[in-house]
Structure 1
């Protein structure tokens, strides 16, 4: 069949490349399929390499490897757990009002069938939701950098994904969830950002603080790379919010536009406040303002008009700035917990703010386009002009209910997970290892540069005593320098 051939299909004359085939059934919309795969990839790039680079460069030099590796490990671990049991717990047959039945998502028949949401294969939906789950865990890690025992982190990731993330996703997003159809959470302001911010802060309490010197002096080791990681995060949000409608349509376009508009506004507001109060234009502050803008717009990106996105950006650049730069420094409560990168402020505060503002500015017409079968109430702003103020307040009540549920569940479950893991392995690295950092944790350093004639030390990891002696019986005798080896 040549490229100029056409065929009659249900009364319509279509070019051959649009006709159904064994590889592309009639239900498969090729445009939606292509965009969903692209959006999922963009979300994945936010974590790897985005947050890997951001974390690895935003911390003190001695913690660069450990911080980046915590993100990389979480990404890989979440994928395996997601397809083995977690996806069905978040989007599957109901087990409890809070969670679905654990089951694998590996069967070809399941993955190649039509997605329950959208006109593309189920494999697209599984991968897209994995990328969401992975970035949630990686964001949580930002509260724990610079002291958490990596072996404890290895155990924490699957536990938290299973007991916390799947519950939030099922309760708010799945058709059987008890909050579905009530809470406006377009792309994860509550499910992803509020949960990661609260869980990170809670876990930071149980892990304990960094050593005093690190907590007082923790400069980024590479600001240029930090900006590169931030860029991946920002541009990747195109897929984060643009993929949430699961189709190429008006809502996706509006969501992408609003995302970048809100983010730019938030960055500029944060930067302006830094310049007014501290007389310096902080690069780190600009990145924090960028993040709060991305987070704030997420729960309402495709559901609010662009003027509302600008207003949300102004608030996300100012309210989290106040909680982080003013309230945090004055509050004994915040000072008692060492949240390394301020994830509570950039994600919990901004996520809560975005969720509440979505309940205020959600436009009825956009709600109907996005959720034609769900009975969402209009945003409070529009309910006032439509003389339906009671409905608007009811939606705000649901937003507060959802936020309260996510906060309480994450505090309780994260605490239980940390207590359980502490009975198995230390949550925090040993004091002497905290002084060393990457070399003690992994036997590797971020900037191992050696000049001509300089004696190069063999990586410390070759001398680390086996953690599980029964699996590592052999002992090695390795020279300390090249000269000795020669």
Structure 2
């Protein structure tokens, strides 16, 4: 059964776009994170992303969607409420504070906006990997979604004060990437750094898996930007094309910078350049012309590269914070490039095709748009910095949940936290997972348990292994001696 307002093409594209964005998180960022970190952190890193995806959805349908896209309560947030009623889900989609309606059901809009909320929190996790206490992360996710993300979403997209002011954020340059970059950097400061061993040796455990995750992230971005006109429109096609042009060129420019500075092309660098291209085009995707996407690619391939490879390694400000996957440099800096570039390169025609009344950007004679973009960025940065700090301090000092794992857990990694290993290479973990490590009194103690409880059974395990190997060698020598005697015809003695 159909209804007069339902456009089946728009609904089909919107659900497809939402599914593409969902794939960016699960499995996209799940496997990207798993491959990017050391072997011992693959499970924990992937699970932080997986958990966030699940938790955000439950919070979203219970109260957060309407806080971000519902009826007016304050200039920066809507009235929280459930989105689970069948009559609500079947009715025509609308954003009441923005006075917008769409030709698909409300359920489609709820899911579409959920996948954006989910990936934002998953991106924040990239700064906290390899040392954040998982229980603290479980608490952080719903609090940050409620107090930070919904405010940015309502203020810019849901009809809040920045929407009415005229700030342009086509698909989340500010709502998603600037907020996650801010929260990632600030939260990483409060959590503290990884242990020295992980800082000094942090080679990714599987770059091929990283490429798989990066590829899912890139192609999924077609739904990320292509779905935001809320229709299978001409502007959706423009957004998808601009997204891919900017991303490809940004990645190539980043590789070129690596070649010029390090004298070698880096696969990880190509992925970083891809990400900054995706981030930079996001606020501008359907409102700039193709050459505007090219200009943004030049900025996203060079400015974040400088902040990551030069400033990030030499400026004391960045040295003070352990941002595991450089979310600040790729998402914070990349989103500022894109947001400012939107104010410069937005076209009158692109804005009109997207349904905006903005008379373009500076190139169209509307220099005011640049200042509006700056105002929007300052609000998002300030709000997220404050609430990320408040949430971290609340978890640590009020709930008394440590933000950082213990050094003993950090030394071991996944097995200490989850009791699981990412790969079945038991040989490499035989000292930790040895079934028994005999103590002086003859009793047995699990090798890993001994470490977790402050004992060190490793020397005893090594001694037992050496004794076993010596016995094997003696048995082998005895067998060879008997074989030679048998072949020579000399009768062996009992």
* TM-score (normalised: structure 2): 0.85
Matching residue of 2:158? 174
Q: Please state if 1:40 is matched with 2:22.
A: no
| Contact 1:43 1:132 survives alignment (8 Å) | yes
1:448 and 2:424 correspond: yes
Q: C-alpha separation between the residues in 2 aligned to 1:366 and 1:107?
A: 36
Give 1:175 shift. 2.0
Q: Map Cα deviations across residues 402-459 of structure 1 (whole Å, 9 max, x no partner).
A: 00000000110000000000122000000111111111111111112347xx99768x
1:267 aligns with 2:251: yes
Please tell me whether the aligned partners of residues 99 and 177 of structure 1 are also in contact (alpha carbons under 8 angstroms): no
Matched with 2:43 is 65
- Taking a change above 3 Å as real, the CA distance of residues 164 and 357 of structure 1, as seen in their structure-2 partners, is same
Aligned residue number for residue 233 of structure 2: 249
Q: In 2, are the aligned partners of 1:377 and 1:394 still within 8 Å (CA)?
A: no
Contact 1:181 1:375 in 2 (8 A): no
Task: Tell me the secondary structure at the aligned position of residue 425 of structure 2.
Answer: coil
Structure 2 residue aligned with 1:378:
360
CA shift digits 1:201-226 (9 cap, x unpaired) = 00000000001121121011001011
1:335 aligns with 2:287: no
Please report how far the alpha carbon of residue 97 of structure 1 lies from its aligned counterpart in structure 2 after TM superposition: 1.1
Residue in 2 aligned with 1:429? 405
Shift of 1:377: 3.5
**Which deviations, in whole Å up to 9, do the C-alpha atoms of 1:350-378 show, x marking residues without a partner?**
0111011011110001111212xx43242
Q: C-alpha distance in 1, partners of 2:367/2:289?
A: 20
Q: 2:15 aligned with 1:31, yes or no?
A: no
Q: Which residue of 1 aligns with 2:197?
A: 213
Matched residues in 1 for 2:162 and 2:334: separation? Answer: 24
Distance across 2 between alignment mates of 1:45 and 1:145: 20
Within the alignment, does 1:139 sit opposite 2:123 as a pair? yes
After superposing on structure 2, the runs of 4+ consecutive aligned residues of structure 1 that deviate more than 4 Å are 454-458
> Structure 1 residue 393: deviation in Å?
2.2
Write the distance in 1 (CA, Å) between the matches of 2:326 and 2:425.
31
2:70 equivalent to 1:92:
yes
The 1-side partners of 2:280 and 2:330 are apart by 9
Contact 1:181 1:376 in 2 (8 A): no
Asked if the contact 1:93–1:100 (Cα under 8 Å) also holds between the matched residues in 2, the reply is: yes
- State the match for 2:465 in structure 1: none
In structure 2, runs of 5+ residues without a counterpart are 95-100, 436-445, 451-494
Deviation per residue, 1:164-183 (Å, 9 max, x gap): 00000001111244443510
Distance across 1 between alignment mates of 2:160 and 2:154: 7
CA distance in 2, matches of 1:416, 1:359: 32
Structure ID, larger Rg: 2
The structure in which a higher percent of residues are helix is 2
Alpha carbons 1:173, 1:180 under 8 Å: kept: no
From 286, 290, 304, the equivalent of 1:320 is 304
Q: Give how far 1:287 is off.
A: 0.3
Which structure 2 residues correspond to residues 3-402 of structure 1 after superposition, within 5 A?
A: 23-116=1-94, 117-371=101-355, 374-383=356-365, 392-402=366-376
Q: Distance in 2 between matches of 1:177 and 1:231?
A: 36
Partner residue in 2 for 1:439: 415
Is this contact kept in 2: 1:183–1:402, CA < 8 A? yes
- Secondary structure of the residue aligned to 2:202 is coil
Secondary structure at the aligned position of 1:300 is classed as coil
Counterpart CA distance in 1 for 2:418 and 2:362 is 52
Whether the 8 Å CA contact 1:263–1:290 is kept in 2: the answer is yes
Aligned to 1:482: none
SS in 2 for 1:221: coil
Instruction: Figure out how many residues of one structure are paired with residues of the other and give that number.
Output: 429
SS in 2 for 1:246: coil
Are the aligned partners of 1:179 and 1:402 in contact in 2 as well (CA < 8 Å)? no
For the 8 Å contact 2:165–2:372, the answer to whether it is kept is no
The answer to whether the 8 A contact 2:162-2:376 is kept is no
SS of equivalent residue, structure 2 residue 73: strand
> Which residue does 1:481 correspond to in 2?
none
TM-score normalised by structure 1 residue count: 0.86
Cα distance in 2 between the residues matched to 1:212 and 1:183: 43
* 1: CA distance, partners of 2:418 / 2:66: 34
- SS in structure 2 at match of 1:115: strand
Range 310-319 or range 150-159, more displaced: 310-319
Whole-angstrom CA distance in 2 between matches of 1:231 and 1:34:
23
- Preserved CA contact (<8 Å) 1:152 1:421: yes
SS at match of 1:119: strand
> Aligned-pair distance for 1:41?
0.1
Partner of 2:440: none
Q: What is the alpha-carbon distance in structure 1 between the residues aligned to residue 289 and residue 162 of structure 2? A: 28
In angstroms, what is the RMSD of aligned CA positions? Answer: 1.7
